Amino acid sequence: MSKIKVPYLDLKAQYQSIKPEIDAAIASVLDSCQFILGPEVAGFENEFAAYCGSSECIALNSGTSALHLALLAAGVGPGDEVITAPFTFVASVAAILYTGARPVLVDIDPPSFTMDPNAIEAAITSRTKAILPVHLYGQTADMEPIMDVARRHHLVVIEDAAQAHGAKYKGRPAGSIGDIACFSFYPGKNLGAYGEGGAVTTSNSQYASTIRMLRDWGQDRKYHHELRGYNYRMDGFQGAVLRVKLRHLDRWTEARRSIVRRYNELLADSEIQTPIEMPWGRHVYHVYTIRSEDRDALHGALTSEGIQTGIHYPIPVHLQPAYADLGYGPGAFPNAEKAAAEVLSLPLYPELSSQAVQRVVEAVSRGVAGAGVSSQLRTSE
């Protein structure tokens, strides 16, 4: 493998840009010795709830824990069914299985890569309890028709907003559209912690108080266990780091969006399909995913030129060996399967320089030509 010339992500560059603020925040946690929950986590909860336009935020130790507790608070358990999409990170489906419920999958809508609202109605049975749309890559699912079908059938809607901090749907922030929303603060996320982290946002106080108890062993007071809970608490360092980073998030999102405009412009004349920002919202580009029928050749060409890329995701969940017993085989979700075969994520992070963007596009151009896909990329001004 050749030396990396453009990394997929550069967390160090971001840390360097805000080092004094981060170092002070970490030092304050060391001084206070409030290592679990505590004032920094509570402060972050207030600020992130306000950012998402929801009345409550409960900070947790991962996005997976957020999905698990959101489903439990919604009353999902053995014998129930939850509808989600197969083209996602595996956690969206795994969390449903944690509750003992059955994930029921529906295909995606190709331009947005998110759940096809038109496929939901046919998947509803008397056991359906919830719908779990995933705001993939930083773009929300088409929430209005999803909420409509959910209301008609009395289903809870849980947004998987793990990749969508700051995304908007018809002006409303991700995290405030469904009944409950789940975020991940895995370090590479648009709002990333310096370790594991996650959160639930909701404006339903009943769900919020249940989730607050469940994250801390089901206690309502110390050693009074009302519910059978978990240790899913956020640690103090993550709360402190996330408070600092939240203040920069909108600026970083704008930087991502401006890089995306540049990528789109330079790739406009190629056969490569660039991502589509749907008319319903504001995409925050957690990942910039192009599509190519020669994806594997292009991936190989970029790797050999030192351009680091990602594939999100190479195998849809229903075709993963671990989830074969869900009962779906190849061909069950043609749009998800085609996307999995064609997607390729290019380097994207707020600090990515315009020279690096140029370099990536030129490598894509050579890769596309080498892969036999006709293309005339505009690689200069």
Which of 38, 63, 178, 239 binds ligand PLP (CB under 6 A)? It is: 63
Distance of alpha carbon 304 from alpha carbon 296, whole angstroms: 12
Q: How far is the CB of 318 from ligand PLP (least distance, A)?
A: 16
Cβ atoms of residues 147 and 159 within 8 Å:
no
Q: Which of 44, 48, 87, 89 binds ligand PLP (CB under 6 A)?
A: 89
> Going along the chain, which residue ranges are E strands?
56-60, 81-84, 102-105, 108-109, 114-115, 128-131, 156-160, 168-169, 172-173, 180-184, 198-202, 219-221, 224-225, 281-282, 288-291, 343-346
* Distance between start and end Cα atoms, the chain: 31
Examine residue 62 and tell whether it contacts ligand PLP (CB under 6 A): yes
Told to check if 284 binds ligand PLP by CB under 6 A, we report no
**How many Å apart are CA 354 and CA 362, to the nearest integer?**
12
Binding part of the chain for ligand PLP, among 45-53, 69-77, 86-94, 337-345 by CB under 6 A, reads: 86-94
Of the candidate spans 85-93, 150-158, 264-272, 287-295, the one that interacts with ligand PLP by CB under 6 A turns out to be 85-93
Residue nearer to ligand PLP on the CB measure, 212 or 312:
312
162 interacts with ligand PLP by CB under 6 A: yes
For ligand PLP (CB under 6 A), the number of binding residues is: 14
Nearer to ligand PLP, 165 or 291 (CB): 165
With a CB cutoff of 8 Å and minimum separation 6, the contacts of 181 are 52, 54, 70, 158, 159, 160, 161, 174, 175, 200, 201, 202
Residue by residue, DSSP assigns 333-348 as SHHHHHHHHHEEEEP-
| Residues 136, 152: Cα–Cα separation, whole Å | 25
Applying CB under 6 A, the span of 14-22, 31-39, 61-69, 146-154 interacting with ligand PLP comes to 61-69
List binders of ligand PLP among 239-268 (CB under 6 A). Answer: none
Q: According to CB under 6 A, which residues from 173 to 232 bind ligand PLP?
A: 184, 186, 198
Stretch that binds ligand PLP, among 57-65, 242-250, 344-352, 363-371 (CB under 6 A): 57-65
Write out the DSSP string of 194-208: SS--EEEEES-HHHH
Tokens of 78: 């053995």
Candidates 62-70, 239-247, 251-259, 321-329; binding stretch for ligand PLP (CB under 6 A): 62-70
Distance, in Å, from the CA atom of 22 to the CA atom of 243, rounded to the nearest integer, reads 9
Candidates 78-86, 114-122, 159-167, 327-335: pick the segment binding ligand PLP (CB under 6 A): 159-167
Q: Minimum CB separation from ligand PLP for residue 299, in Å?
A: 20
Give the residue, chosen from 56, 80, 109, 160, that forms a contact with ligand PLP under the rule CB under 6 A.
160
Tell me the backbone φ, ψ of residue 112, rounded to 5 degrees: -100, -15
Alpha helices (H) in 121-235, listed in sequence order? 143-152, 205-215
CB of residue 342 vs ligand PLP: minimum separation in angstroms? 19
C-beta closer to ligand PLP: residue 184 or 201: 184
Distance CA 182, CA 57 (A): 10
Output DSSP code: residue 89: -
What's the residue count for the chain? 381
Q: Which is nearer to ligand PLP, 188 or 370 (CB)?
A: 188
Residue among 326 and 371 whose Cβ is closer to ligand PLP: 326
**Smallest distance from the beta carbon of 84 to ligand PLP, in angstroms?**
10
Rule CB under 6 A: say whether 80 interacts with ligand PLP: no
Nearer to ligand PLP, 92 or 270 (CB): 92
DSSP 220-234: EETTEESS---B-BP
Expressed in percent and rounded to 5, the helix, strand and coil fractions of the chain are 40, 15, 40
Cβ of residue 238: shortest distance to ligand PLP, in angstroms?
11
Touching ligand PLP, residues 91-150 (CB under 6 A): 91-92, 134
Could you tell me the smallest distance in angstroms from the CB atom of residue 182 to ligand PLP? 7
Binding site for ligand PLP (CB under 6 A): 62-64, 88-89, 91-92, 134, 160, 162-163, 184, 186, 198
